[in-house]
Amino acid sequence: MTDFQKAIPLDNLRDGIPQSVILPDDRRVCLVRVGDRVFAVDDRCSHADFPMADGEMVDDFVVECALHGAQFDVRTGEVLEPPADEPLPIFEVKVDGGTVWVGGTAP
Ligand code: FES
């Protein structure tokens, strides 16, 4: 069973603006709100560990790393543009009672 950690009130997430959140288990995740859906990816770019939340959304589900421009699909973690060649870890998300919860466990 997935262990969900309390992340942030949904109202604190702005549509299309990546946001870094530290979970109670010390994982740092990058949350992305797209309309009424929320996605969570590792906040460290798979290319050189730069914070993904410092990047920006360049399409509905595409986040671009601010350091070297790698792009990832926030739904799957898939690399869409180099120089990254490893996907971003993604985490399950649920929204309950106006709060965003993130699943998975710390590595
Ligand atoms: S650190 Fe993200 S593209 Fe290089």
- In the CATH scheme, what architecture does the domain 5-102 have? 3-layer Sandwich (2.102)
Q: What pLDDT shows up at residue 105?
A: 63
| 107, pLDDT greater than 80 | no
CA of 65, closest atom in ligand 1: 2
Report the nearest-CA residue for atom 1 of ligand 1.
48
CA of 71 to the centre of ligand 1 (A): 9
Nearest in space to 45 (alpha carbons), one of 27, 71, 22, 21 = 71
CB-based contacts of 47-53 (< 8 A; 24+ apart in sequence): 47/83, 47/84, 47/85, 47/86, 51/20, 52/18, 52/20, 52/88, 53/18, 53/19, 53/20
CA of 52 to the centre of ligand 1 (A): 8
| Average pLDDT of the segment spanning 99-107 | 82
Report the nearest-CA residue for atom 4 of ligand 1.
68
| 10, pLDDT greater than 80 | yes
pLDDT level of residue 104 (50, 70, 90 thresholds): confident
Residue scoring higher pLDDT (52 or 107):
52
